Amino acid sequence: MNAGKVTLVGAGPGDPELLTLKALKAIQAATVLLVDDLVSQEIVAFAAPTARVVYVGKRGGCKSTPQAFIEKLMVMAAKEGEVVVRLKGGDPFIFGRGGEEVEHLREAGIEVQVVNGITSGLAAVTSLGVPLTHREHAHGVVFVTGHAHPGSQGADWRALAAAARDAKLTLVVYMGVSGAARIQEELLTALPASTPVAIIQRASLPDQRHAVTTLGQLDATIAREQLASPSVIVVGDVIRGVAAARSAPAQFRVA
């Protein structure tokens, strides 16, 4: 029996129209799909009727399928000659454990490819009509997780705040809602309380919700608006453009 292969596919933030053509072709060709919790059913529906779909949900704060078990399933299916797609929300290489999975598969002698997807941090601000970088307001962007690995202190928020202030950076925080109070407190050591912030929940999906506030009101706004995971928190002066985007003529608005 010929050995199969594994493709890590980024399903994007949820809207099926944001899939790349390469991702769509990989999904349609798969005989086995291992699907993350945040991948929409509209995207899973692109799979062949004969494909075996296995849900291996992984979501912060919830009971998840162990990573070692997912990696074992990929190796077993590939060695049985299956065409395996590991379908992951967003992009496999941005907080998707794609690096760990590629290493494990290569060590097992399995051919592996990666298809990028639009990460939710980008889709979230685009849905508000503003950019992540801007020549006047943001010279760069930092993607950072608000979820610390067990036994780790996580991101150095004070250092990030100083860097964002000094280098004019946009901070995009994934999985940060549950730790928003601490993140806010640490960022305020170097950034003013008036720094604009947006919290976007379920970016790109029909039930997307968002709130625009300031760093000084971040945690209070999340509580008041009852925003929850999956959400992205965007900190920086680019968010000042949200009001302008909403007041722009219709032909200039982001769909």
Options 3.30.1490.20, 3.30.420.250, 3.30.950.10, 3.30.413.10; CATH of 120-247: 3.30.950.10
Q: Where are the beta strands (DSSP E) in 36-168?
A: 52-55, 83-88, 111-115, 140-145
Catalytic one of 15, 58, 91, 168: 58
Kindly report the CATH number that applies to the domain delimited by 5-115: 3.40.1010.10
36 is catalytic: yes
What the block records as the tokens of 110 is: 């399995």
Work out the number of other CB atoms within 10 angstroms of the CB of residue 247: 9
Q: What is the total residue count of the chain? A: 255
H or E element, residue 162: helix 157-167
pLDDT of 147-198, one tens digit each? 877 667 789 999 999 999 999 999 999 999 999 999 999 999 999 999 999 9
Can you spell out the DSSP letters for 163-180?
Answer: HHHHHTEEEEEES-STTH
Catalytic one of 15, 74, 168, 175: 175
76 is catalytic: no
Can you give the pLDDT at residue 4? 84
Q: Tell me the domain boundaries of the chain.
A: 5-115, 120-247
d(CA 19, CA 105): 24
With 0-12 / 13-18 / 19 or more C-beta atoms within 10 angstroms meaning exposed / middle / buried, residue 205 is middle
Task: Tell me which residues of the chain have a pLDDT lower than 70.
Answer: 1-2, 58-63, 150-151, 243-255
d(CA 234, CA 43): 26
- Comparing CA positions, the residue from 201, 171, 196, 170 lying closest to residue 183 is 171
pLDDT of 44-57, one tens digit each? 999 999 999 999 97
91 is catalytic: no
Can you give the pLDDT at residue 150? 67
Catalytic one of 36, 74, 91, 168: 36
